[in-house]
Chains A and B, each alone.
Chain A
Amino acid sequence: MYRVVEIEEVRDEAKDVKTFFFRDTSNPQPGQFYMIWIPQVDEFPMSISYIGELKGFTVKKIGKGTTKMHSLQKGDKLWLRGPYGKGFKIEEGKALVVGGGTGMATLAPLAEMLGNKDIIIAAKSEDEIIFRNRFKENVFFATDDGSLGFKGFATKLAERMIEEDDYKIIYTCGPEMMIRKMVDIAKERKIKIQASLERYMKCGIGICDSCTINGYRVCVDGPVFSEEILFSMDDLGRRWRAKSGKSISKEENHDIGEKSQ
C-alpha cells in the first residue's frame, strides 16, 4: 500500500541536488529510508533528510526516477511506503560526522540531534556541497579540488581531526569507498562507528536478497550498521552484486558513484 503526499516546497541545494518537502503521518528516525514511487516511471529508495513536521528528501539527479523527480514542483505528488530499516543510534561522547556528497542528506537529521559534535561535509567540488548553511557551528568542508575548505578527501581531513580530538563515535555516509576507509580508520583507532550503506535495492522489505552484503540486508538489517558488523564486512568497498545477483568486483561495477539516494 502506498500513501500519497504532496510536495509543498522544492529547494535547490547544489548542482543536481534538490530537497523536496512534504507532510506525512510517519515518524521516521534519522537514517531510515522510504520507497518513493513515481507511477509509470520508477520506484527507488530514499533516506529522509528532514524529520520535523515538514519532512524532506534531498535527491541527486542520477537515474530515471530521480531525474523525473527533479521535474516535479510544488503541488505535485509522491507515492510512499516506509519508513524502513534501522536508523542511527545516538552514542555517548563527542561525535565526528563525515558526509560525502549526498550522503550528508542521510546524516543531517542525526547531526541536528547530536550535542557535542564536529561535522565534515565533503564533495568533489564546492558546487556539489549540500547544506552549507544548515549547521551553525563545528562544520568543516572538504573538496577534492580544494574549491571549498580542506583540499582532499573527507577521510584525510577526518584522520587529521581524529589525531587532535577525542571522538567517541563516528557517523558516516557517502560513497562506499569512503565508508570503507572510515571503517578501517575506526577499527585501527578503536573508535565506535555507524555507517549508512547503499546497495542496489529492489523490494525494500528484506525478501529479495538484492541489497545483501555478507548476509546482511541493507534494507532491513541496515541501512545503518554499527562497528561490530562493519568490521566483519569483507565485501564492503570490495565486492558488489549486479542487478542479477552476480558477485562482481569494483572494476566490474559501473554504478559505483556517489550515494544516489
Chain B
Amino acid sequence: MLETVVSGIRFSNPLLLASGIMDETADSMIRISKSGAGGIVTKSIGMEEREGYENPVVYELPNGLGLLNAMGLPNPGIENYKNEIKNALKGGVPVIGSIFGKDAGEFLYLSKRMEDYGVHAIELNLSCPHAKGYGMEIGVDENLVEEIVNEVKKSVNIPVWAKLTPNTHKIVDIAKAAEKADALVLINTVRGMAIDVDARVPVLKNVYGGLSGPCIKPIGVRAVYEVYRETQKEIVGVGGILNGRDALEYIMAGAKAVQIGTAIYYRGVGVFHEIASEMREWMKKNKVSKIKELVGIAQVR
C-alpha cells in the first residue's frame, strides 16, 4: 500500500529519516530503521572532522511552531564514517549518504567514498542555511549547482539526489540546473533567527539558523508543487511533516516520498509507525490502494 520507488530504489514506505536528526551514529540509524522508517538519510558528511558550533545550537519555538537550529555541520569527516555506514546498513532499509562540500571536487570525492562504503544513493546537501562557504551559499548559484550535480552524476553509479534550499526566489531555476540528478529533495530549512528579548541578544551562537517544523510546511509544499509542475523530476518532500495528512499533502503536491525530522522532537521515535498508520487509515477510508495514485494529484491543470 505504502511502497514507493524513488530513483529506482524501492522503499517499503515513503517515510524517510531526514538528514541531521538522529543520524550521526549507526546505532541511532538502526534504531530509526527498526522504528518503521522506509529509509535513512545520514547526517551531512564533509571532507574533514568538524565539531560544529557552540551552544546554543537549537531554539524551541513556542506553541509548537517548530525549531530553529544552527548545529554547524558537525560530523566525523568522511574517512571516519566508514564504520557508521557499514553498521547503519544493518538496519535493513536503504541508506542515503548525505554530503556537503565547498566545490565540485569535494562533492565528487565524498560521493565516491560514500559509494565505496555501500550507501544506496547520495544526497547532495546544497542547502544548509547557516554554514559559511557551504550548503545554501552554493545552492543558490545555478552554475555551481549544475556543475556539482553533473560532475557527481558522471562519476558514481548509484542514484544522486539533490537537496535544494527554499531560501531563493528562483527555486524552479535551481531545480532545472540540477536536472541531471535522479531526484530532487525539497526543502531544507528556512534561514531565520531569534532574539531573546530579556537578554537583548540573538539566541543561537551562530546568530542565523535554519527553521524547521510545522511553520515551514506551506513553504515546502509550495516548492514541491512548483517544481513538480515545471520539471519532470522525481521529488522527495520535506519540511514540517508531523502526521499522515501532512505526508499526504506533500505527496499530492508531487512528492514520491517524504522525509521526517523535527516530528521526532514532537512525537518521539515511534513517529514513523504512527504516520504510516495514519496514512493507511486515510487511504482505506478514501479507497486508495496505492500511494502512487496520489502523487501530484492536487496539481491544477
| A interface residues with partner B (beta carbon < 8 Å) | 1-2, 4, 35, 37, 39-40, 42-44, 77, 79, 81, 202-210, 212, 214-215, 217, 241-247
Contacts of A39 in B (CB 8 A): 196, 199, 201
Most B-side CB within 10 Å, residue of A1, A40, A203: A203
A217 to B32, CA, bound (A): 12
B57 to chain A, nearest CB (A): 5
Contacts of B24 in A (CB 8 A): 208-210, 212, 241, 245
Are A1 and B57 within 8 A (Cβ)? Answer: no
A77 to B61, CA, bound (A): 21
- Does B103 make an interface contact (CB < 8 A)? no
Are A209 and B21 within 8 A (Cβ)? Answer: yes
B194-234 residues at the A interface, CB under 8 angstroms: 196, 198-199, 201, 203
Q: Quick one: given A207-B265, A215-B30, are A43 and B60 in contact (CB under 8 Å)? A: no
Are B51 and A243 within 8 A (Cβ)? Answer: yes
A200 to B54, CA, bound (A): 12
A207 to chain B, nearest CB (A): 5
Complex partner residue of A205 from B25, B54, B199, B265, CB under 8 angstroms: B265
A interface footprint on B94-110 (CB within 8 Å = 1, 0 otherwise):
00000000000000000
Are B74 and A243 within 8 A (Cβ)? Answer: yes
Are B50 and A244 within 8 A (Cβ)? Answer: yes
A221 to chain B, nearest CB (A): 9
A interface footprint on B36-56 (CB within 8 Å = 1, 0 otherwise):
000000010000011110111
Are A4 and B198 within 8 A (Cβ)? Answer: yes
Contacts of A207 in B (CB 8 A): 20-22, 58, 67, 69, 261-262, 264-265
Are A203 and B30 within 8 A (Cβ)? Answer: no
Contacts of B274 in A (CB 8 A): none
A–B Cβ pairs within 8 angstroms, 26 of them: A1-B60, A2-B196, A2-B199, A40-B201, A42-B55, A202-B55, A202-B58, A202-B74, A203-B71, A205-B58, A205-B67, A206-B265, A207-B20, A207-B21, A209-B21, A209-B25, A215-B25, A242-B49, A242-B76, A243-B52, A244-B49, A244-B51, A244-B74, A244-B75, A245-B25, A246-B49
Contacts of A214 in B (CB 8 A): 27
Nearest A residue to B204 via CB reads: A43
Are A244 and B77 within 8 A (Cβ)? Answer: yes
Are B60 and A215 within 8 A (Cβ)? Answer: no
A219 to B196, CA, bound (A): 23
Nearest B residue to A243 via CB reads: B51
B158 to chain A, nearest CB (A): 23
A-B contact count (CB 8 A): 119
- Does B23 make an interface contact (CB < 8 A)? yes
Range for the number of chain B residues in contact with chain A: 35 or more
Nearest A residue to B73 via CB reads: A244
Nearest A residue to B59 via CB reads: A1
A203 to B261, CA, bound (A): 14
Are B25 and A241 within 8 A (Cβ)? Answer: yes
Contacts of B80 in A (CB 8 A): 246-247
- Does B299 make an interface contact (CB < 8 A)? no
Are B57 and A208 within 8 A (Cβ)? Answer: yes
Are A203 and B57 within 8 A (Cβ)? Answer: yes
A240 to chain B, nearest CB (A): 12
A2 to B200, CA, bound (A): 13
Q: Quick one: given A1-B62, A207-B22, A209-B25, are A245 and B43 in contact (CB under 8 Å)? A: yes
Contacts of A44 in B (CB 8 A): 55
Contacts of B12 in A (CB 8 A): none
B266 to chain A, nearest CB (A): 10
A113 to B30, CA, bound (A): 38
- Does B4 make an interface contact (CB < 8 A)? no
B54 to chain A, nearest CB (A): 7
Are A209 and B43 within 8 A (Cβ)? Answer: yes
B294 to chain A, nearest CB (A): 29
A1 to B56, CA, bound (A): 12
A37 to B201, CA, bound (A): 12
A23 to chain B, nearest CB (A): 16
- Does B83 make an interface contact (CB < 8 A)? yes
A204 to B43, CA, bound (A): 18
B55 to chain A, nearest CB (A): 4
Contacts of A202 in B (CB 8 A): 52, 55, 57-58, 71, 74
Contacts of B54 in A (CB 8 A): 42
A101 to B228, CA, bound (A): 59
Contacts of A35 in B (CB 8 A): 55-56
- Does B31 make an interface contact (CB < 8 A)? yes
Are A206 and B25 within 8 A (Cβ)? Answer: no
- Does B28 make an interface contact (CB < 8 A)? yes
Beyond A4-B198, A245-B76, 18 additional contacts (C-beta under 8 Å) are A1-B60, A2-B199, A2-B203, A35-B56, A79-B198, A204-B58, A206-B22, A207-B22, A208-B57, A208-B74, A209-B43, A212-B24, A212-B27, A242-B49, A244-B51, A244-B75, A244-B76, A247-B80
